[in-house]
A and B are shown apart, each in its own frame.
Chain A
Amino acid sequence: MSDPEKKIALRAVGLSKSFSIVGSSKLHVLDGVELELEETSSLSIRGDSGCGKTTLLNLLARLEPADNGTLYWGDKKIDASGKPNSQEASRRSKHIGVVYQSYYLIPELTVMENVLMSVRLSKLSMNDYKERALKLLEQMGVLDKRRQIPSKLSGGERQRVAIARALVNRPKVILADEPTGNLDERTGGEVMDLLLSTCSTEETGLVLVTHNPSFAKATQKSSVLKDGKLVYV
């Protein structure tokens, strides 16, 4: 049950998604997924490989249309089956931050420029966010690397930069898709601790897709995606 005093950051109602496979048959990946995330709360999603975890995150971020369902980004209701449009892209840049397993830092930019790329995309004032970017890099322990390019960083450092980039715009929700998947256990643990603590400090909701049960337990709510449905545990 949700706390009535806390605002809903992200809500999905009846999200379904299927993919065409050979011939006319369809693979139903998501089947009426229900999800509700309050601001400052965190939710983990586990599931077998190929069960649709990443697809669910893509639908929540409106990177691709669902077959059915409705999304709420804060108070904004979105028809999830509609084709993503440029207004949603603009809103996404301010409302949602993304963290991926492969970091996806832009190799031609320095660490600082990578973090501020979110600000540029949101068309926010760079001067207003430079201090915040530096603060986040300090929190992530990579402030001294801010003038370096991503290829000079370790995997853990790159993921910390990616987390700082996701948070710099003060989004309401972070969608993290196996953020520790490419890291060793110790570094993964450190990064996860940082992600959880920073989301808590920044009062940002977190949807975490992970295979690691201990990381899943660290979130406020845990769920498993099974047979196209989200089962809360």
Chain B
Amino acid sequence: MKSAWPFFLAWKQLFPSQRKVSFFSVLAIVGVALGVNVMIVVVAFMQGFQQKFRSDIIDAQGHARAVPLQRQIDWRNDIKRIESRVEVEKVSSYMQGHLLLQNRDYHAVPYSMGIEPGEKVGVLPLDDFLKKGFIPVQGYDSQDVTPLPTMELLEDDVVFITQQVANRLGVRAATVLQLNDANSSLAKGAVQVERIDPYVESDEWTIEFFNAQNYNLRNSLGSIDLNGTIQDPSVDLGWGFPKFKVKQGSRPFSSGDKFKFQTFRSSILEIYSPNMIEQAKSDEMAPPREVRVGGIFEVPWQGFHADALIGTRRFMEDMRGEVDACDGFFIKLEDKFFHDERKLGELCAKLEGMLEGNWRIIPWFVENAWFFDLLKFEEYLMVLIMIPIGLVAAFAIAIALMTTVLRKIREIGLLVAMGGTRISVGMIFCMQGFIIGALGALLGCCFALLFIRYRDFLMSFIVTRIAGEEGQAGVTQFYDFYSLDVPYPWESEQSLMTFLTFIIFAVLVSTIAGLLPAWRAARMNPAEALRSE
């Protein structure tokens, strides 16, 4: 085979025959690999954070938000016009403002938003937010069996509030505990609470079996006392009562089996609005609006208001003293607009045109540009800090190769005497740089893939060593690396580009590092080289 002999010799000088490993080669390759690994991992994690924030923001406000530019607008018609476009999946109107909330002597003034109730799937995944905000009660001899609140509970006299507001006011949603000390037999089966609405009163509920089939359901207030059978497992007494479901286990129930539950009613808030102040100025004192807490929610996007309340749109209209008002829409689009900001911007411009300039359509990346600019800046800064590290590695390779050139002066003379051109001889050292860069980059990619694969374990290990178990919770509050989506290069074009960029960077820098020794070797006089001692 007419092989390129400089490459052959470069390879052999790095991996000599009859020797398993060359110390210099291993050091140089591992050095490059570690550099490539660090650069890929840092950028991949930064991109993971960006992805997470992007996803959180779109969850919190949709792909775009429409803001009215006129006072009198037929907004219902405009929603229909927007929804008529194929790219648009869903449009949800909202009202907003600030309300004063009071519970006993505690007050809060959260950002308040009114949305259309009954939307099973709106633009915002509110059921997920309610799930995130749910904190079970820790009981000594009982367990919290409260079903997760859902959007179905939202009505005009029910509101959802954030954890911060709930903590400040000392309120919580309706809760149900199952008492452990009752004569219950889990092996035989269980009784589940399927629903507890905001109108359920504080009470104690008992389900007691007469035999394998029949049971009695009663409450301590004495308003309910009825018998049921396990053939009809769900017991729905309607709104204001918990809904139970009897589940049979592997063994039949027997006489005396008992399940006891304690329900706690949801807190009642008194709400004042700026409109009430205006009424008070006219000597029309309106009583505060009383609403029940339907659930506690948490929006994962920190840019969303920490103090917030969600009620129905009609509730907000009442509080503001307006009729058929709308402060804007959240717009959810097809998934393809998640990554393509250019297309999203173009579509928003088209929608604005379609609505004859009555609305301004603001894409999510414009509304949160400050945040992403900051993240990008941080990413570039990281890369800028890391590039000199790569260059230091390149200098180390250059020095090592230069030493090799000086050690092999007579071999260089011999190669020319045997018919090698000076450029070819120089190429040996350039090729060595290339091989070190290429193998180092490949190994670095393997390290990076392993780091991404086991990132939770590694990050947890690092953070707990630095901040301890408690500190870890604090860190994850801001950087929830456990939920980070760090894609592999075969899963995402962006990840592939990151890997390729750093592979090319490492190979280029290492090859360039070999240029100086190569030049030194190429300009050597072979006769003098052969004479050298």
Residues on A lying within 8 angstroms of B by beta carbon are 54-55, 58, 61, 63-64, 86, 89-90, 92-94, 98, 100, 102, 104, 106-110, 113, 117-118, 120-127, 147-149, 165
User: 8 Å CB contacts to A: which residues of B514-533?
Assistant: 525-527, 530-531
Whether B8 contacts A54 by the Cβ 8 Å rule is no
**Nearest CB of B to A161, in Å:** 13
The CB with the most chain B CB atoms within 10 A, among A61, A89, A127, is that of: A89
**Nearest CB of A to B13, in Å:** 5
Question: Within 8 Å CB of A127, what residues of B?
Answer: 1
Known: A63-B527, A100-B530, A120-B3. A106 touches B411 (CB 8 A): yes
Known: A104-B411, A106-B411, A120-B5. A89 touches B419 (CB 8 A): yes
Question: Within 8 Å CB of B410, what residues of A?
Answer: 102, 104
Whether B5 contacts A93 by the Cβ 8 Å rule is no
Whether B414 contacts A100 by the Cβ 8 Å rule is yes
**Nearest CB of A to B432, in Å:** 12
Question: Within 8 Å CB of B414, what residues of A?
Answer: 98, 100, 104
Whether A63 contacts B419 by the Cβ 8 Å rule is no
Top 8 closest pairs, chain A to chain B, by CB:
A93-B419, A108-B16, A120-B5, A64-B527, A104-B414, A58-B527, A86-B421, A63-B527
Report the Cα distance A147→B17, complex, angstroms: 9
Whether A54 contacts B419 by the Cβ 8 Å rule is no
User: 8 Å CB contacts to A: which residues of B413-434?
Assistant: 413-423
**Nearest CB of B to A198, in Å:** 18
Known: A64-B526, A100-B414. A122 touches B17 (CB 8 A): no
Known: A64-B527, A120-B3. A89 touches B420 (CB 8 A): yes
User: With contacts A63-B413, A107-B16, A125-B1 known, what are 9 further pairs, Cβ within 8 A?
Assistant: A63-B417, A89-B420, A89-B421, A102-B410, A104-B414, A120-B5, A120-B8, A122-B419, A149-B18
Question: Within 8 Å CB of A124, what residues of B?
Answer: 2
Question: Within 8 Å CB of A122, what residues of B?
Answer: 419
Whether B526 contacts A86 by the Cβ 8 Å rule is no
Which residue in chain A gives the minimum CB-CB distance to B415? A121
Question: Within 8 Å CB of A148, what residues of B?
Answer: 18
Q: Does B43 contact A (CB under 8 A)?
A: no
Q: Does B9 contact A (CB under 8 A)?
A: yes
Whether B530 contacts A113 by the Cβ 8 Å rule is no
Whether A63 contacts B526 by the Cβ 8 Å rule is yes
Known: A63-B527, A126-B1. A121 touches B419 (CB 8 A): yes
Whether A149 contacts B16 by the Cβ 8 Å rule is yes
Question: Within 8 Å CB of B19, what residues of A?
Answer: 149
Q: Does B350 contact A (CB under 8 A)?
A: no
**Nearest CB of A to B229, in Å:** 88
Q: Does B465 contact A (CB under 8 A)?
A: no
Q: Mark B222-245, 1 if CB is under 8 A from A, else 0.
A: 000000000000000000000000
Report the Cα distance A122→B421, complex, angstroms: 11
Question: Within 8 Å CB of A109, what residues of B?
Answer: 12, 16-17
Whether A108 contacts B17 by the Cβ 8 Å rule is yes
Whether A108 contacts B13 by the Cβ 8 Å rule is yes
Which residue in chain A gives the minimum CB-CB distance to B16? A108
User: 8 Å CB contacts to A: which residues of B1-26?
Assistant: 1-3, 5, 8-9, 12-13, 16-19
Determine which of A61, A104, A110, A117 lies in contact with B5 in the assembled complex, contact meaning CB atoms within 8 Å: A117
Report the Cα distance A94→B419, complex, angstroms: 8
Main secondary structure of the interface of B (DSSP, over half): helix
Question: Within 8 Å CB of A126, what residues of B?
Answer: 1-3
**Nearest CB of B to A69, in Å:** 16
Which residue in chain A gives the minimum CB-CB distance to B531? A54
Which residue in chain B gives the minimum CB-CB distance to A94? B419
Whether B418 contacts A93 by the Cβ 8 Å rule is yes
Which residue in chain A gives the minimum CB-CB distance to B13? A108
> Could you pull out 6 A-B pairs where Cβ atoms are within 8 angstroms?
A63-B413, A64-B526, A92-B417, A109-B12, A110-B17, A121-B5
Which residue in chain B gives the minimum CB-CB distance to A65? B527
Whether A86 contacts B17 by the Cβ 8 Å rule is no
Question: Within 8 Å CB of B416, what residues of A?
Answer: 63, 89
Report the Cα distance A92→B3, complex, angstroms: 19
**Nearest CB of A to B28, in Å:** 16
Question: Within 8 Å CB of B527, what residues of A?
Answer: 55, 58, 63-64
The CB with the most chain A CB atoms within 10 A, among B1, B8, B18, B418, is that of: B418
Report the Cα distance A218→B123, complex, angstroms: 101
Whether A123 contacts B2 by the Cβ 8 Å rule is yes
Report the Cα distance A63→B527, complex, angstroms: 6
Report the Cα distance A90→B416, complex, angstroms: 10
Which residue in chain A gives the minimum CB-CB distance to B2? A123
Determine which of B13, B420, B423, B525 lies in contact with A121 in the assembled complex, contact meaning CB atoms within 8 Å: B420
Known: A54-B531, A98-B417. A110 touches B18 (CB 8 A): yes
The CB with the most chain B CB atoms within 10 A, among A54, A100, A108, is that of: A108
Question: Within 8 Å CB of A118, what residues of B?
Answer: 418-419
Question: Within 8 Å CB of A108, what residues of B?
Answer: 9, 12-13, 16-17
Whether B17 contacts A125 by the Cβ 8 Å rule is no
Question: Within 8 Å CB of B3, what residues of A?
Answer: 120, 126
The CB with the most chain A CB atoms within 10 A, among B410, B416, B527, is that of: B527
Question: Within 8 Å CB of A165, what residues of B?
Answer: 418
**Nearest CB of B to A76, in Å:** 14
Which residue in chain B gives the minimum CB-CB distance to A151? B18
Report the Cα distance A124→B5, complex, angstroms: 11
Known: A104-B411, A110-B18. A90 touches B419 (CB 8 A): yes
Q: Mark B141-154, 1 if CB is under 8 A from A, else 0.
A: 00000000000000
Question: Within 8 Å CB of A64, what residues of B?
Answer: 525-527
Known: A109-B12, A126-B1. A92 touches B18 (CB 8 A): no
**Nearest CB of A to B477, in Å:** 56
